[in-house]
Structure formats: structure tokens, C-alpha cells
A and B are shown apart, each in its own frame.
Chain A
């Protein structure tokens, strides 16, 4: 089944404790992206990747890191999480970086930073 998977789905952590949220897609998509969703703010892009070893900042990259060492995986790293990073996070992928391609979303990771 074609899908985007994220792990963990739920995470409660404390300020300053490094964490990684994994994202993997099995559709051989070139483009991958991370978003955070907060009430009333819609989706805001954190980072995106047009292909392997190519990553770029989105609208809200502060406090986050990403890597794209292989096509299928695009982990999101929070080196020192803070309470304002409490949010619902989505990974997405699309077939290419072309403007007309729809994105496929993972199920989301709900992160709480105490």
C-alpha cells in the first residue's frame, strides 16, 4: 500500500531532550516536506526537500533540523525542544517538485513538550 508513515504518533517529552520524528514514504517520491499544524494557523512548513541531499527552510525552521540521506526517509530533529514546539506535525511527499503534484500526508505526530 502506498503510504507515508511517521513515528512516533504521540510523544510527550521535556524541554531540552533531543528527539527525532521519523518519516518514510514507499512511493519513490522526490519531494518531501514537514509541516506543523496549530489551531487557527493552518499548516506551516518547517523544512522541505526537493531530492536526496537537498533541503531548504520553510516558513518556520527555527529549532528544527532535517536530513535527506536517502530518498524514502526524511527525519525531523528537535535538538533542544521547547514548549512552543508543542504541536501536531505532518510529513508529506509528492512525486516530484512540480507545481501541479498533490501531496500525500502521513498520519501525524502529536508532540507535547513540558
Chain B
């Protein structure tokens, strides 16, 4: 069965330090992977996606993610965290052979401390 795991409920990072939000997945076919961010009292916003090609994907607000097929992971990263990056982050996967529906992780709360 398809699934997505975000193993950390919360990640705390000091401002200016690099950040990583982890995501692992399980699909039967080729994965399409997505990261979304939810700021307080807002809807989700698309950050980046991996469909095919280069394993390092760059997205909005300076975020990037690395697709690792052998480890079935798609971790979200940023070299230098900002306080404004504090939000809830969701990883999602879609099996290329599925009926197009996304499978969502439970979300990781990212807290950036000044």
C-alpha cells in the first residue's frame, strides 16, 4: 500500500542554521513527490515537486529537496533558516500508476528560534 511517513512531529532549528524536514515514502510504481507548507490560519501552498530527472529539486522561498530512490526518501532542506519559515510542512506522494490521488504525510511543525 502507498504511504508517506514524516517521522518528526516537530523540528526546532536556530535561525541561520540549516534545516531538514524528513519524508519517506512507499509506492509500487514510480513516485511523484511534493512538499507543501501551511502557515498559521492559511491554506496549503505548494513548495516543490519531484517528477523525474535531477534528484535535487529547487523550490520556493529557498527550499530544496533531495530525492533518494534507494532510501525512498524526499527530505526538505534549506541552507539557512529564517524565523518566517516557521510553519507546518507536509510531504505527499502520488504513484504514477495510481488514479492520481495524493497520499499525505501527517505533517511536521517547523519552529525556527531567533
- B31 and chain A: residue at smallest CB distance: A99
A100 CA to B94 CA, complexed, in Å? 8
A98 CA to B99 CA, complexed, in Å? 9
Majority SS at the chain B contact face:
loop
Provide the residues of chain A in CB contact with B43, threshold 8 Å.
Answer: 4, 90, 105-108
Q: Are A100 and B32 in contact (CB under 8 A)?
A: yes
Q: Are B101 and A103 in contact (CB under 8 A)?
A: no
Q: Are A103 and B102 in contact (CB under 8 A)?
A: yes
Answer whether residue B14 sits at the interface, using C-beta atoms and an 8 A cutoff.
Answer: no
Question: Which of A90, A100, A103 has the most B CB atoms < 10 Å from its CB?
Answer: A100
A100-B106 contact, Cβ under 8 Å, with A31-B100, A90-B44: no
B1-43 near A? 1/0 per residue, CB < 8 Å: 0000000010000000000000000000000101010000111
A99-B46 contact, Cβ under 8 Å, with A42-B104, A43-B104, A45-B101: no
Q: Are B100 and A105 in contact (CB under 8 A)?
A: no
Q: Are A42 and B106 in contact (CB under 8 A)?
A: yes
Answer whether residue A64 sits at the interface, using C-beta atoms and an 8 A cutoff.
Answer: no
Distance from A1 Cβ to chain B, minimum over Cβ atoms (Å) = 14
Provide the residues of chain A in CB contact with B45, threshold 8 Å.
Answer: 105
Distance from B76 Cβ to chain A, minimum over Cβ atoms (Å) = 15
A1 CA to B95 CA, complexed, in Å? 31
- A90 and chain B: residue at smallest CB distance: B43
Distance from A68 Cβ to chain B, minimum over Cβ atoms (Å) = 15
Q: Are A48 and B101 in contact (CB under 8 A)?
A: yes
Additional 9 contacts, C-beta under 8 A, given A90-B43, A100-B51? A41-B106, A42-B106, A43-B44, A43-B90, A58-B101, A98-B100, A99-B96, A105-B44, A108-B42
| A-B residue pairs in contact (CB < 8 Å), sample of 12 | A4-B43, A42-B90, A43-B44, A45-B101, A97-B100, A99-B95, A100-B49, A100-B51, A102-B34, A102-B49, A106-B43, A107-B43
